[in-house]
Amino acid sequence: MSGAMPPDMAKGLEATKLSVMLGGHQVLDIPSFDVRPGEVLVIIGPNGSGKTTLLLSLASLLKPTTGTVLYQGIPYREGLSALQLRRKFAVVFQEPLLLNTTVWDNVALGLRLRRIGHHETNERVKKWLARFGMAPLARRQARSLSGGEAKRVSLARAFALQPEVLFLDEPFTALDSPTRQALIEDFESVLRETKVTTVMVTHERNEALVLADRVAVLMNGRMRQIGTPEEVFSRPADEETASFVEAGNILHGVIGSQNNELVTLDTNGQEIQAISALDLTVGTEVIAYLHYEDVTISLPSPQAMSSSARNQPRGRIVKTSPVAGSQVKVTLDCGFPLAAVITKRSWQELGLELGQVVAASFKASSVHLIPIPGKPSGLSPGVSEPAS
């Protein structure tokens, strides 16, 4: 195309004023969005939030109603034909979509369609089947594979194309926990080796924690927060995001005092201290978000009370529930509900049981305060249950 813009290799994917209408309803409204070269960006959100719609729009498989999507600074369908652009991308869907032929032929299919030479095709197929542990099954019929094996073949097929950008839509669903964990570990290793720009959709918090350089939270078709996993899961932007990520306590309260950055919060008649740079007037209603791992549980003792943590409530254990791996979530009644995640070993070593009174502690700097938009100040504090 004469006069076409040259690609800017320092830029990745960008979207501006992106809107998608389906069935007369707006399912996506994204003023601006970007995926940086070489990063792994994981899009999370509840079912029906528009995650797959955004992924398909970025992958040039769905034309937005309005807005512009660019790759390396070039708007889609301007500097490159649709076919040329899609050959720079690879997409892995939730279902592996394997043909009724051998594992080898499934991985080779995209290379043959792109007229890659026979020798190079064989080398790439051999490399990626081995990398995902599927070389011994190369001649097996794809329809005889287990779910985890089929997903490994699908990933090998995508990486064999040597894409500049990899898109994945819920790639690890419908797998048992050990199979899923092993596949995620292999996939994470491959991503770090290849440094391929990656956009992945999931609703699983742990996948985002393991894989993402940045996390984007999408709700009701709108981007609510983008940041590192630490930023999103420890300092969510609003109550809805905090509730979705399910990583911490959500407490409603009223500002009792503020001295420089030290804030006192009244929640259900109990006092919590927090560090916040926000300018909060007395009587302002806020949400206090506290990551489960930032709460320490110990047996009541003088030593426990000597902790440097400003917040040291006591509470009765009212509920326990298992967490992935060797952890357990312990919920206390401290006059307000407070949950912590500890190891099963700690639970056993402390001799904990339901109904027992324990000492909890957490630092003021661990409490993240979120103002409630549109809420008048001076309301009586309420308490919501911690996110489960």
Per-run averaged pLDDT (10 residues), the chain, 388 residues: 66 95 94 96 94 96 94 82 86 94 97 95 98 97 96 98 97 92 96 97 91 96 96 92 91 93 94 92 93 94 72 96 89 96 95 96 95 58 40
What are the residue boundaries of the structural domains of the chain, listed by start? 13-234, 247-371
In this structure, the number of other CB atoms found within 10 A of the CB of residue 319 comes to: 14
- Tell me, what's the pLDDT at 304? 57
Residue 246, pLDDT score: 85
- φ, ψ of residue 377 to 5 degrees: the values are -80, 165
What is the model's pLDDT at position 291? 93
Angle at 59 between CA 56 and CA 61, to 5 degrees: 55
Q: Which residue has the tokens 């994204």?
A: 30
Residue 374 has what pLDDT?
Answer: 64
SS3 192: helix
* Fold classified for 247-371: OB fold (Dihydrolipoamide Acetyltransferase, E2P) (2.40.50)
Is domain 13-234 classified as CATH 3.40.50.300?
yes
What is the reported pTM? 0.87
Encode pLDDT of 66-120 as tens digits. 999 999 998 987 666 778 888 999 999 999 999 999 999 999 999 999 999 999 9
Per the DSSP assignment, residues forming a β-bridge with 352 are none
**Separation of alpha carbons 31 and 225, rounded Å:** 13
Return the pLDDT at 10: 84
Which of these, 249, 339, 347, 258, lies nearest to 298 by C-alpha position? 347
